[in-house]
């Protein structure tokens, strides 16, 4: 079955960077786009961007451009999200999600368990 397993919780200081990983199994990693979504405490879901593992092409929401990098290592079926210049507003749970369409159109049919990231001085 499709499974996305994310890396563990992170605690960072303001100004630092964080990298979250998402390891895929149960399907051909390079066939499906992966999206990154975050959720601040008590808030809604915020879409961050997508990556196409086959090519490495990625696209991010305007609000994150310049601060987010999405990469992948196809040898280990793992995608990465790196977010720089962290502030307390980046405190959130970060999710990866598989796009079942074969494109970036959605829907997101499988989700990782989430990685809590806390930013505090």
Partner 1 sequence: SSELTQDPAVSVALGQTVKITCQGDTLRSYDATWFQQKPGQAPVLVIYGKNKRPSGIPDRFSVSSSRNTASLTITGAQAADEADYFCNSRDSTGNLQVFGGGTKLTVL
- The residues binding partner 1 (CB under 8 A) are 35, 37, 44-47, 50, 59, 61, 95, 97, 104-109, 111-114
- Least distance from partner 1 to the Cβ atom of residue 107, Å: 4
Toward partner 1, which CB reaches closer, 16 or 23? 23
- Least distance from partner 1 to the Cβ atom of residue 4, Å: 9
Non-local CB neighbours of 1 within 8 Å, separated by 6+ positions:
26
- Least distance from partner 1 to the Cβ atom of residue 33, Å: 10
Whole-number Å distance between alpha carbons of 84 and 98? 23
Whole-number Å distance between alpha carbons of 29 and 8? 21
DSSP structure class, residue 41: T
């Amino acid at each position: 079955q499709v499974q996305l397993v994310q890396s563990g919780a992170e605690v960072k200081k303001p100004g630092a960077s964080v990298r979250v990983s998402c390891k895929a199994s149960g399907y051909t990693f390079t066939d499906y786009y992966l999206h990154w979504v975050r959720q601040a405490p008590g808030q809604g879901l915020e879409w961050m961007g997508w990556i196409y593992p086959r090519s490495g092409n990625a696209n991010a929401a305007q609000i994150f451009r310049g601060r987010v990098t999405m990469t992948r290592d196809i040898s280990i079926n793992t995608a990465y999200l790196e977010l720089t210049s962290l502030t307390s507003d980046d405190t959130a749970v970060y999710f990866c999600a598989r796009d079942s369409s074969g494109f970036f159109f959605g829907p997101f049919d499988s989700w990782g368990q989430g990685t809590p990231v806390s930013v505090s001085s």
